[in-house]
Amino acid sequence: MISLNHRELIFTFQQKGYVDAIGAHEESIIQYMKDYNANFRILEEPLMRVGIGVAFSKNDKRDLCEKLDKTLKEMRKDGTSKKIIGKYLSDPEKYLEVDDFAY
């Protein structure tokens, strides 16, 4: 296993045959393939799923956490999240897996 700090190097290592496989964010691989007319096979099953959290002050009296949670749920339900994600990523459904996470 080789760990590289620079994204530019991982694709070079793969194309030169220095490594058999690379692990990277799927969208960065897809974008690289588009930009450089490269062709890689991406595994169907993701290696990991990452949950992103939002931190609020423990002393917050405005109920921001609850308001944000409600708004994000509404956005998923009415399709707003999918529409926004679809502007930037080719398969927005992959990024709407938040209900699969255990908190």
pLDDT one-digit tens code per residue, 59-92:
989 999 999 999 999 999 999 999 999 998 888 8
Task: Compute CA 18 distance to the chain's CA centroid, rounded to the nearest angstrom.
Answer: 26
- Which residues have C-beta within 8 Å of that of residue 29, sequence separation ≥ 6? 22, 40, 42
- The structural domains of the chain, with segments of one domain joined by +, span 1-48, 51-103
1-36 pLDDT, tens per residue? 888 888 789 988 988 999 999 988 888 888 899 999
Tokens found for residue 25: 């964010």
Has residue 103 got a pLDDT over 60? no
Evaluate if pTM is beyond 0.85: no
Q: Residue type for 58, please?
A: K
The CA distance from 32 to 55, in Å, is 32
